[in-house]
Amino acid sequence: MKIAVTGATGFIGGAVATAAEARGWDVIRFARRPGRGLRYWDLAGLPPARIPQVDAVVHAAAHVADWGDGATFHRANVLGTRAVAEAFAGTRLVHLSSSSVYPWWEACVDRAEEDVAFRHLNAYGRSKALADVEARRHGNAVALRPHGVYGPGDRTLLPRLVGNIHGGRLVSVGHPGVKHQLTHLENLVEAVLAACQSTVRGAVNVADAEPVELGAILRQVLDVSGHSNVPIAYLPEPAAMAVAAVSETTSRLTGQTPRLTRYAVSQVGKERTYRLDRLRNELGIKPISTTVSDAGKWLKHGA
């Protein structure tokens, strides 16, 4: 099997490339920066002069942030996805989408692979939804939609949770019983590699085997990362939304990144659980359960 991977220096793209090589696959790694073992490709610019012949292309490159210039997100995520789809028009396309394409204003309760939402709280969510649509226009594409990806190399989800410790306590949104269906990196990588060899098309949710309660996961992360004495406080979602709106307004006036965004509140404060029938029955993946037992090592390594 020979595949190409965009965003091959990133958290997900790097893990996919490494796992594919461990299986004996031939992997071509594309990245926005030159480096050993990498092929340069800035997706916002011209494609490489020679497009390699591969069995599948995994599009993991993306601009990911809660806040930023809309044009930057559109260029990197929407036009970048279009560029990959056009460059590999006759090749199997595995697109790394996101659960953020679903409606932010309501809870996701065992949500199936519905179409993308028509309005969004930030440029990132909007660009991922449009990129999801772009990818699925390809003649042979699958868009994988994970929620809350974590695991070795994670520099966003768990580090951000621990980074919310202020005044000797961790502040979160909603309540301890809010259910989430996170996605261990191992589950996502297995889904990507299976999709490379599959003919499944359309959108596929990817997540851990079953939902977990937010409070329990936060407590485990704190315990294994050396913060067992830190209590957790919860800000009700409506109040958190109000605080985030003020933070965003202040940011627009000062040009600084807001400490809290409405997007972040929406992703944490409401239930986010997903139906995995297509993942299990069509891609043949048996996802592992959520585990953060080694989170202390990941956080220390990423610090």
Q: Domain 2-296 belongs to what topology?
A: Rossmann fold (3.40.50)
For 110-124, the pLDDT digits (tens) are 999 999 999 998 999
Cα–Cα distance between 225 and 59 in angstroms, integer? 32
> Whole-model pTM?
0.93
Of the given ranges (76-90, 94-108, 222-236, 286-300), which has the lowest mean pLDDT? Answer: 286-300
Helix spans in the chain (H)? 11-22, 70-73, 80-87, 123-136, 157-163, 185-197, 214-224, 237-254, 262-269, 277, 295-302
Q: Which tops the pLDDT comparison, 7 or 154?
A: 7
- Predicted pLDDT at 110: 95
Helix spans in 198-234 (H)? 214-224
Q: What's the whole-number mean pLDDT along residues 268-294? A: 94
Cα–Cα distance between 23 and 142 in angstroms, integer? 21
Whether the predicted pLDDT of 12 surpasses 60: yes
Of the given ranges (125-129, 148-152, 207-211), which has the lowest mean pLDDT? Answer: 148-152
For 206-227, the pLDDT digits (tens) are 999 999 999 999 999 899 888 8
Q: Which tops the pLDDT comparison, 98 or 69?
A: 98
C-beta neighbour count of 13 within 10 angstroms = 23
Q: Where are the domains of the chain?
A: 2-296
- Predicted pLDDT at 303: 43
Q: Are 205 and 276 a contacting pair, CB within 8 Å?
A: yes
Give the chain's end-to-end CA distance (angstroms, integer). 35
Tokens of 148: 């809350």
